């Protein structure tokens, strides 16, 4: 090709480059689905290697949006649990009164040992003159009906207000009778503290969960009249310290973005445990720190999925994280990671730690679950030819 020909074709080449730049510039981030080029080991873990208890899930009607059951077919749910090797599921949706009874009838009473349901309390009682005492009485009635524990959702601290309009936090003295009653009854209190740290930050180019917040802007807490995450954590830890006879379980590890805080709190409060529900994305990008935390507090970390409705594909990455040393894999089955554009790596827990996290800790810290498991086991043994009632 001669000089004249090259000069004649140069504008055409420049035009093609400009067209390519234009196409790249027109791409939108929400449609970007990069395919990793790194080649690593890939282990399909479709079933928990050891029997597991999902200590954080939602099976009721409270969060469904349309008032229907989160699990429309309980039989199908049980079949899925068997496939996944889930021995039991903790249902955090019991609420109180008639709604609690409906959950207990549908799950706990119909399928002993496979489900345990937690209750809530009606924060509107705080508007009553004898509200603190009535909250304790409500918990007592719910536990008497069969509730396995108390769930305190994130609305406490972010939304619940008293008669004066002030936000109510967990360390409010008016909640002390409720938390003391839980200790007296021997039931754990699961507390959802705040929200992911990114939700408190400006929704801008520096926010690592920008896409999620753009899709669901209502999740953002930035600029809203709510306490900072540090204050919510302070209130939570203050309540834990003030009630040493009550078992507290921090849902979502309290603040999975700061495992140093989690480790310090666990070290200072022997009545505190954590569940890992919906925090694979955070644990998996700091696998060494997560494993070190579990090794140090092996008796106070509980497995949980927080996947509702329950889906087979969302359990596999969790099992893979705990059971393998695979690197750089997706923490979700969705094409675009929902919580942040990163991958996770596994921690390959040894058998004894895996057993503790998967099942043993839940059985110990949730007494009803342990008792029902024993009763169920005895019933199965008694049903066998020549069976015995001995444990």
> What's the Cα-to-Cα distance from 30 to each of 27, 215, 218, 335, 336, rounded to whole Å?
9, 9, 18, 11, 8
DSSP symbol at 356: I
pLDDT in the model for residue 278: 96
The C-alpha atoms of residue 389 and residue 13 are separated, in whole angstroms, by 84
Q: Which residue has the tokens 């009607």?
A: 61
The C-alpha atoms of residue 48 and residue 358 are separated, in whole angstroms, by 9
Number of residues that make up the chain:
391
Pick from 35, 97, 60, 41: which is nearest to 345 by CA?
Answer: 41
pLDDT in the model for residue 321: 98
* Contacts of residue 75, Cβ cutoff 8 Å, sequence gap at least 6: none
pLDDT in the model for residue 333: 87
Give the DSSP H/E element, type plus range, for residue 53: strand 52-57
Joined together, the tokens standing for residue 131 give 């509200």
pLDDT in the model for residue 202: 97
pLDDT in the model for residue 36: 86
* Contacts of residue 337, Cβ cutoff 8 Å, sequence gap at least 6: 281, 330, 331
Pick from 337, 178, 320: which is nearest to 248 by CA?
Answer: 178
Whether a cis peptide bond, with omega within 30° of 0, leads into 309 is: yes
Whole-prediction pTM value? 0.89
The stretches in the chain having pLDDT less than 50 are 4, 9, 377-382, 384-391
The C-alpha atoms of residue 116 and residue 108 are separated, in whole angstroms, by 5
What tens digit of pLDDT does each residue of 184-225 get? 999 999 999 999 999 999 999 999 999 999 999 999 999 999
Distance of CA 236 to the CA centre of its chain: 17
Q: What are phi and psi of 218, to 5 degrees?
A: -65, -15
Pick from 350, 254, 363, 372: which is nearest to 299 by CA?
Answer: 363
The C-alpha atoms of residue 42 and residue 282 are separated, in whole angstroms, by 20
The C-alpha atoms of residue 153 and residue 306 are separated, in whole angstroms, by 13
pLDDT in the model for residue 241: 98
DSSP symbol at 189: E
What tens digit of pLDDT does each residue of 337-379 get? 899 999 999 999 999 999 999 999 999 999 998 886 655 544 4
Domains parsed from the chain with CATH numbers:
52-383 (3.20.20.140)
pLDDT in the model for residue 381: 39
């Amino acid at each position: 090709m001669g000089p004249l020909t090259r000069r004649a074709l140069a504008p055409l080449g420049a035009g093609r480059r400009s067209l390519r730049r234009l196409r790249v510039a027109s791409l939108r981030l929400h449609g970007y689905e990069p395919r990793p080029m790194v080649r690593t080991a890939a282990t399909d873990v479709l079933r928990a290697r050891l029997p597991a208890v999902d200590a954080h899930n939602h099976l009721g009607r409270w969060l469904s949006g349309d008032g229907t059951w989160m699990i429309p077919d309980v039989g199908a749910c049980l079949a899925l649990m068997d496939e996944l090797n889930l021995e039991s599921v903790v249902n955090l949706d019991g609420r109180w009164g008639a709604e609690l009874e409906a959950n207990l009838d549908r799950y706990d009473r119909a399928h002993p040992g496979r489900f345990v349901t937690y209750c809530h309390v009606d924060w509107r009682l705080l508007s009553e003159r004898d509200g603190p005492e009535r909250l304790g009485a409500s918990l007592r009635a719910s536990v008497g009906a069969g509730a396995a524990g108390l769930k305190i959702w994130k609305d406490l601290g972010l939304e619940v207000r008293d008669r004066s309009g002030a936000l109510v936090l967990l360390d409010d003295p008016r909640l002390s009778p409720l938390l003391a009653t839980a200790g007296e009854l021997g039931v754990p209190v699961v507390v959802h503290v705040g929200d992911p740290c990114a939700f408190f930050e400006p929704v801008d180019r520096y926010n690592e969960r920008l896409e999620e917040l753009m899709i669901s802007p209502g999740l953002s807490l930035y600029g809203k009249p709510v306490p900072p995450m540090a204050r919510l954590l302070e209130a939570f830890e203050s309540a834990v310290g003030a009630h040493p006879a009550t078992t507290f379980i921090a849902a979502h590890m309290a603040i999975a973005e700061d495992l140093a805080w989690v480790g310090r709190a666990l070290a200072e409060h022997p009545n505190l445990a954590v569940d890992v529900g919906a925090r694979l994305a955070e644990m998996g990008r700091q696998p060494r720190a997560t494993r070190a935390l579990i090794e140090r507090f092996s008796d106070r970390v509980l497995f949980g999925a927080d996947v509702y409705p329950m889906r087979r594909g969302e359990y596999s990455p969790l099992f893979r994280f705990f059971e393998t040393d695979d690197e750089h894999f997706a923490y979700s089955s969705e094409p675009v990671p929902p919580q942040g554009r990163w991958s996770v790596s596994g921690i390959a827990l040894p058998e004894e730690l895996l057993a503790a996290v998967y099942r043993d800790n839940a059985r110990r810290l949730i007494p009803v679950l342990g008792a029902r498991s024993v009763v169920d086991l005895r019933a199965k043994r008694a049903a066998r030819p020549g069976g015995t009632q001995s444990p």
